[in-house]
Amino acid sequence: MKIVNNIKELKGYLAQERQKNRKIGLVPTMGALHNGHISLVKRCGKDNDVCVVSVFVNPTQFNNKTDLVTYPRTLDKDCALLESAGCNYVFAPSEQEMYPEPDVRKFDFGTVSSVMEGAYRPGHFNGVAQVVSKLFYIVEPDNAYFGEKDFQQVAVIRAMVKQLNIPVLINACPIIREADGLALSSRNVRLTPEQRQKAPLIARTLKESTNFVPEKSVQEVKEYVINTINADPVMRVEYYEIVDGNTMNAINSWSDTTYPVGCITVYCGDVRLIDNIKYNK
Ligand code: PAF
């Protein structure tokens, strides 16, 4: 496995791989890797001849500067995990390498990027589109892999490659959970023992709510989820929306979509956790 910090050097290696007709896969990450990321890397290795993993804490997608400063940075540990997961190239650029000058591009993907995370974290998806488009231009992957925990992010990236005509196949991979249901996230390490013990309530409540569909209305299911989680004093639901899983448009009735997905953000203490659930009607 090669660890590369420089764009020109990485492009040189990948040009050689392409000359040998090798299929290239990319897993973009911000490091602090866990088994959720590793599942993406393994899938990438299975589908492609060459697996590239980027590790870059992208400053332009943080609307909260404290979040950027406190974001865990564990490159040595990440590289050890990546090596054993079969990664071929780790691309770990500096901020200067990725943004030699400020990226002033402003994207607009309509509803897909303006609701939920888009509304609560202004500028977040613009920053994601900036960095992921740069990574796609640098690596020119055949396939790219993203976790479905960030359900809306996957929709934004699909919209971005369509808008920019970037020839890459976006692969969405299932959420990986702890045994008690908590979705794996780099932020979980910030939970206190008490918060960690409470956090599985999110996944448990989402799962329970699937039993009420379609008998209960969309509004009733939303209220059930929000009230059940908020009943715990450690938890505060920021939003819970049930949306069309392709457009991110909120639905009012189960008949509004064939693909209803519930997307939630919860503060567990001061740790912001996100999760989602697919409903079968
Ligand atoms: O999901 C993430 O970790 C980040 O948003 C991504 C896609 C690596 C872009 O920085």
- Residue 102: asked if its preceding bond is cis (omega within 30°), the reply is no
pTM beyond 0.95, yes or no: yes
Q: Would you place residue 38 in the very low, low, confident or very high pLDDT band (cuts 50, 70, 90)?
A: very high
H or E element in which residue 146 lies? strand 143-147
**Tally of residues, the chain:** 281
Flag whether pLDDT at 134 surpasses 80: yes
Summarised one tens digit per residue, pLDDT across range 46-64 is 999 999 999 999 999 998 8
| CATH top class, domain 2-173 | alpha beta
How high is the pLDDT of residue 70? 85
Q: What is the pLDDT of residues 141-157, one digit of tens each?
A: 999 999 999 999 999 99
Percent of the chain past pLDDT 70, that is, above it, reads: 100
Q: Select from 27, 30, 274 the residue to mutate for testing ligand 1; criterion: most ligand atoms less than 8 Å from CB.
A: 30
With beta carbons less than 8 A apart as the criterion, state whether 68 and 62 touch.
Answer: yes
Measured in angstroms, how far is the CA atom of residue 127 from the centroid of ligand 1? 9
- Average of per-residue pLDDT across 106-131: 98
Residues 6+ positions from 35 with CB-CB distance below 8 Å: 176, 184
CATH architecture assigned to 186-278: 2-Layer Sandwich (3.30)
Average pLDDT over the chain reads 97
Report the 10 Å Cβ neighbour count for 60: 21
Does the pLDDT at position 281 exceed 80?
A: no
Q: Under a CB-based contact definition with an 8 Å cutoff, are residues 271 and 195 in contact? A: yes
234 CA to centre of ligand 1 in angstroms: 27
**Residue at token pair 């309530």:** 201
Atom of ligand 1 nearest to the CA of 58: 10
Mean pLDDT confidence for 268-274: 96
Residue corresponding to tokens 């990027």: 113
Q: Nearest residue CA, atom 6 of ligand 1?
A: 29
Active site annotation includes 34: no
| Predicted pLDDT at 64 | 86
Q: What are the extents of the domains in the chain?
A: 2-173, 186-278
pLDDT of residue 155: 98
DSSP 8-state code for residue 47: H
Question: How many helices and strands, by DSSP H and E, does the chain display?
Answer: 12, 9
pLDDT at residue 170 in the model: 99
- Tens of pLDDT along 153-206? 999 999 999 999 999 999 999 999 999 999 999 999 999 999 999 999 999 999
Instruction: Check pocket membership of 131 for ligand 1, CB cut-off 6 A.
Output: yes
Mean pLDDT for 108-129 is: 98
Centre of ligand 1 from the C-alpha of residue 195, in Å = 25
- β-pair partners for 252: none
Asked whether residue 262 carries a pLDDT value surpassing 90, the answer given is: yes
Query: Band of the pLDDT at 67, cuts 50, 70, 90?
Result: confident
